[in-house]
Amino acid sequence: MERTIVELIARKRDGHPLTDREIQRLVAGFVDGTVADYQMSALLMAAFIRGMDDAETVALTEAMLHSGEVIDLSNVPGTKVDKHSTGGVGDKISIALAPLVAACGVPVPMVSGRGLGHTGGTLDKLEAIPGFRTDLSIADFRRIVAEVGTCMIGQTREIAPADKRIYALRDVTSTVECIPLIVASILSKKLAEGIDGLVLDVKTGRGAFMKTEASARELATALVRVGTRAGKRVVAVLTRMDAPLGRTIGNANETREALMVLHGKGPTDVVECTLVLGAEMLVLAGKAASEAEARRVMSEAIASGRAVEVMERMVAAQGGDARVVADPTRLPRAAAVVPVPAPRGGVVRGIDALELGLTAVAMGAGRTRADQAVDFAVGIEIDAKPGEAVRAGEALARLVVHREGDAAGLVARCTAAFDIGDNAAAAGALVVGRVDAASP
């Protein structure tokens, strides 16, 4: 006998697992309107409180995945691999990573997101490139991946539509921080891309959604376990997100910095994070036997100019001004630069990534609602990173704004994000862990 929707909600409320068929019915019913918003909200809260086992999480992922179109990339030869980050401040890695890995012979189909809250979004950063379109059709997405090797778009109405609607409910019912629901949301979108493998950058620290290493590892383990059960090759890398990544925050600001990596330049931590994740992608795709070989292959792609060429071709294919790749100064930049002076001399012991992320949002570089526009031209440029010495009055950072008056009240907030002491704090490693299918 088939249970009613109310009975299914009650079973989850009481801690019983739901079957694959029951979860599929619930998701399909929500999409076609036979399951009401308030019923799905009740189910999400029950799952938040009671949890979901791996079988339920796989079933939820599959149901959300097949609520829309699963992109067929069988016309693209090779092992298709994507990367997903759980989000952080100054995280512009995808912008350089996708064309770099594609230049090494690995197709990278990438469906990215927008910024919300204190973290930025890859789509907003890419759209700082004049003319660049992320709202392409699936047909155009397939064509560009086949012709260029990579394409970076946003979630379309055809890709996992159930996820988009369920996430909207989670956002307003305080059920976002639930690992099974996070896993299903991430994987349903990523598996819809037609990929064979996925590398996850799970961030931990003050500027990440997962504040502790333990919670980040729990999420990484669940993502790898469920992704593997769904038939994909999945690896997760845990990276530190206490201080911002790189020296820039803001959309055009971060795109400019990411492009420098393709020219063999850029901040050390941005370069290292790009190479760490890129090496995992190349090994996963069988293009390198080891991390050392993968790093050599990527270094050659940068030195030869192939990585820049792929980026130029992708930008042009997506309607953007490809000249910005060779000349990132063409990206928009607000006219006024307001320094943030150091209140005392010493050494920067740490930077509160969350506080700087929120400061950037207050400047207009981010959004607090999904329907808000962002200002591509404003942002923060960091002069003093952790471990670097600074004299009193020297710039810790610079606020890039349209008018000096726009920085009123933000200088003090930015100053408070910097911890200055007499001695440097012990530097933590960028990579704090790794999880794969063989991990305990």
Distances (CA, A) of 155 to 185, 318, 397: 12, 15, 34
Q: Convert the pLDDT of each residue in 240-255 to its tens digit.
A: 999 999 999 999 999 9
Task: Report pTM.
Answer: 0.92
Other CB atoms within 10 A of residue 45 CB: 19
- Which parts of 128-222 are beta strand (E)? 150-154, 197-204
pLDDT at 87: 87
The set of residues, in sequence order, having a beta carbon less than 8 Å from that of 271 and lying 6+ positions away, is 261
- Distance from chain centroid for Cα 23: 27
Sorted by where each starts, the structural domains of the chain and their CATH numbers stand as: 5-51 (1.20.970.10), 81-328 (3.40.1030.10), 332-421 (3.90.1170.30)
Burial of residue 409, with CB atoms counted within 10 A of its CB: 0-12 exposed, 13-18 middle, 19 or more buried: exposed
Any bridge partners for residue 235, and if so which?
199
Q: Convert the pLDDT of each residue in 88-131 to its tens digit.
A: 899 999 999 999 999 999 999 999 887 766 777 899 999 999 99
- Residues annotated as catalytic are 84, 163, 170, 185, 189
Distances (CA, A) of 98 to 92, 212, 216: 11, 28, 24
In the three-class reduction of DSSP (H, G, I as helix; E, B as strand; rest coil), residue 233 is classed as: strand
Q: Where are the alpha helices (DSSP H) in 203-267?
A: 213-229, 251-262
Q: Convert the pLDDT of each residue in 313-339 to its tens digit.
A: 999 999 999 999 999 999 999 999 999
Q: Tell me the average pLDDT of the chain.
A: 94
